[in-house]
Every structure is written in structure tokens, then in C-alpha cells.
Amino acid sequence: MVQSLNLLKESPSQTAGPYVHIGCTPNFSGIDIYGGDLGTTMKTGPVQGTEITVRGAVFDGTGTPLRDAMVEIWQADANGIYPGNDPRGAADPHFTGWGRSPGDMETGEFTFQTVKPGQVPWRNGQLQAPHITFWIVARGINLGLQTRMYFADEVAANADDPILSRIEHQNRVPTLLAQPDGAGGYRFDIRLQGDAETIFFDI
């Protein structure tokens, strides 16, 4: 026997189930207790930077969109500062950095009205390409899936990104690139399984 490390174990994850909306977006599911759902608005006033809309859907291994997923995003402001607890200083006071979308009940499409994030340094100070962190939960997903959305039109920054450039299977990098939709927004579809499976991260 050896000494105990006295560490606790993380609470194991369980699926969010089909009724995640009751707890996380109750107004969306018709329960008006809180007066509004958290995460529906990322802009609380005039924001700095370029305003964009990010749309997409989550698809299962048969190509069917999930109509009961909940997607959350976390990102820096236009200057590359995270709202809330970034040790480097204060972010845009009118930007929350965090969004939550239950997706459309028929099409599964999620929508975020946000701003294009600035560049954030990696651990060694090197700048990462602009990106948005995604977290996906749903019925059938036992542990929330983390991935990142990058911007297909940030060609130079993406080429220098410390994560994108390290991926062994470069033919999978396009699964992380949101495409301009021609209307000042971006389309980012997430595929859980199959040939075009999105890269998920074990962070």
C-alpha cells in the first residue's frame, strides 16, 4: 500500500436526455418561470467588432438532424478577451461570450447572434486562429462533446493555428471550418458519426 492522493473523482457524466429543455431553456419548452432563457442573447448593448450569425445543425450517423440537442458556445470578444474571468483584463462590457441554443424542434437548426472573435494566445503565447468552442449534449450522448468552430475565410490564421496545424489527419480539418453563408454569417454543421465526422476534442 502507498499513501492516498486524497483526490476526489469527478462526478461521472450522464446523458442530458430528451427533456434537457425543461431545465436549461424552460421558456422554449413552454415553462415560464424565469422570465427568459439564459444564453439566448449574447449581446446586451452595442458591441465591438463584426456582428455575425452562426447557424448549423447536429447530425447523427444516419444523416438525420438531432431535434433534441442543446448546443452551447463560448468565445472571446472581438479583441480576443474572454468575458467574465479572463486574467488579462476586462472584455467588451456588452458581450457575454456564452450562448445556448436548443435548436429548432422540427429542423434541429441552432442559431447564435454573436460577434466574430479576436485571436487568443495559446499556452506559449502564439496566437490561435479565431475560433468558437462548442459543447453539444443530447439524448444518446453520454458525455458532452467538445469541438471548435474555425472560420474558413481565415486562411492565413488557420494555417498558423497551433491546434489545426498539429492534426495528423489534415483531411479532417475541414470538419472544423464554418463556411460563409453569403449573408454575413457562417454555417457550421456537426456530424457525430460517419465519413465526415466532426473532430471532437478531449481537452
Partner 1 sequence: MTQKGYFARDTQWHPPALTPGYKTSVARSPTRAKLSFPTSLSEETGPVFGHNILGPLDNDLIHNFAAADQSAIGPRIVVYGRVLDETGRPVPGALVEVWQANAGGRYRHKKESYLAPLDPNFGGCGRVITDENGCYEFRTIQPGPYPWPNGPNDWRPAHIHFSVFGQGFAQRLITQMYFEGDPMIWMCPIVGTIDDPKAVESLVAALDMSRTIPMDARAYKFDIVLRGRRQTFFENRAEGL
Task: Say if strands 177-180 and 98-101 run parallel, antiparallel, or are unpaired.
Answer: unpaired
- Which string of DSSP letters, residue by residue, matches 43-77? BSSPPSS-EEEEEE-EE-TTSPBPSS-EEEEE---
Q: Does 197 bind partner 1 (CB under 8 A)?
A: yes
Q: Which residue in 44, 50, 170, 193 binds partner 1 (CB under 8 A)? A: 193
With CB under 8 A as the contact rule, the residue among 77, 110, 129, 133 that binds partner 1 is 133
**52 or 136, CB closer to partner 1?**
136
Which own/partner pairs from 174-179 qualify as long-range (CB within 8 Å, at least 24 positions apart)? 175/199, 176/147, 176/148, 176/149, 176/150, 177/149, 177/150, 177/151, 177/152, 178/54, 178/56, 178/149, 178/150, 178/151, 178/152, 179/152
Beta strands in 20-156 (DSSP E): 51-56, 58-59, 70-74, 98-101, 110-115, 131-137, 145-151
Build a one-symbol-per-residue string for 103-122: x at contacts with partner 1 by CB under 8 A, - elsewhere.
--x--------------xxx
Using the rule CB under 8 A, which residue among 1, 2, 8, 183 binds partner 1? 8
x-or-dash string of contact with partner 1, 60-89, rule CB under 8 A: xxx-x-x-x---x-x-x-----xxxxxxx-
Q: How far is the CB of 44 from partner 1 (least distance, A)?
A: 13
Window 17 to 46, contacts with partner 1 (CB under 8 A): 17-24, 26, 29-31, 33-35, 38
Q: How far is the CB of 101 from partner 1 (least distance, A)?
A: 14
- 36 or 184, CB closer to partner 1? 36
